[in-house]
């Protein structure tokens, strides 16, 4: 992900991560795949609120889901996290440059 090309994706991901409840969901999913009922128990939120936040995270590309019978299981999208990390690394590298003299 190039610095300019990655800005749009990074904004969407960072916007999704800016909500504390979504961060809780991300942290919960960091231990592995879970269904909504697991997340409801861990985070103490109603199913409708969890589902809303899952939708935002999915639209940002941070999670994926799979259906198994009547249950939907969610997991982190590792590639999205790696892309964000790459963008942040690039940003860090770019900000280390010294300015050329103004004349």
pLDDT at 65: 96
* Residues spanned by the domain of 12: 3-83
If one counts the domains in the chain, the total is 1
Residue 100 is assigned to a structural domain of this protein: no
pLDDT at 102: 74
pLDDT at 75 over 70: yes
Determine contact, residues 76/35, Cβ cutoff 8 Å: no
Q: pTM above 0.85?
A: no
d(CA 78, CA 61): 10
Residue 62 is assigned to a structural domain of this protein: yes
pLDDT-wise least confident of 3-12, 81-90, 91-100: 3-12
Determine contact, residues 57/26, Cβ cutoff 8 Å: yes
List of residues 6+ apart from 1 with CB closer than 8 A = 9, 83, 86, 87, 90
- Average pLDDT estimate for 31-44: 94
pLDDT at 8 over 70: yes
The CATH number assigned to the domain holding 57 equals: 1.10.10.10
Residue 37 is assigned to a structural domain of this protein: yes
Residue 65 is assigned to a structural domain of this protein: yes
pLDDT at 100: 75
């Amino acid at each position: 992900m190039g610095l300019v090309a990655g800005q749009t994706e990074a904004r969407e991901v960072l916007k999704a991560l800016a909500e504390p409840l979504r961060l809780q969901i991300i942290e919960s999913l960091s231990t592995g795949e879970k269904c909504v009922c697991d997340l409801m128990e861990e985070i103490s939120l109603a199913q409708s609120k969890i589902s809303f936040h899952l939708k935002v995270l999915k639209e940002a590309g941070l999670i994926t889901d799979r259906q198994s019978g009547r249950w939907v299981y969610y997991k982190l999208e590792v590639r999205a996290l790696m892309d964000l990390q790459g963008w942040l690394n690039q940003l860090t590298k770019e900000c280390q440059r010294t300015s050329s003299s103004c004349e």
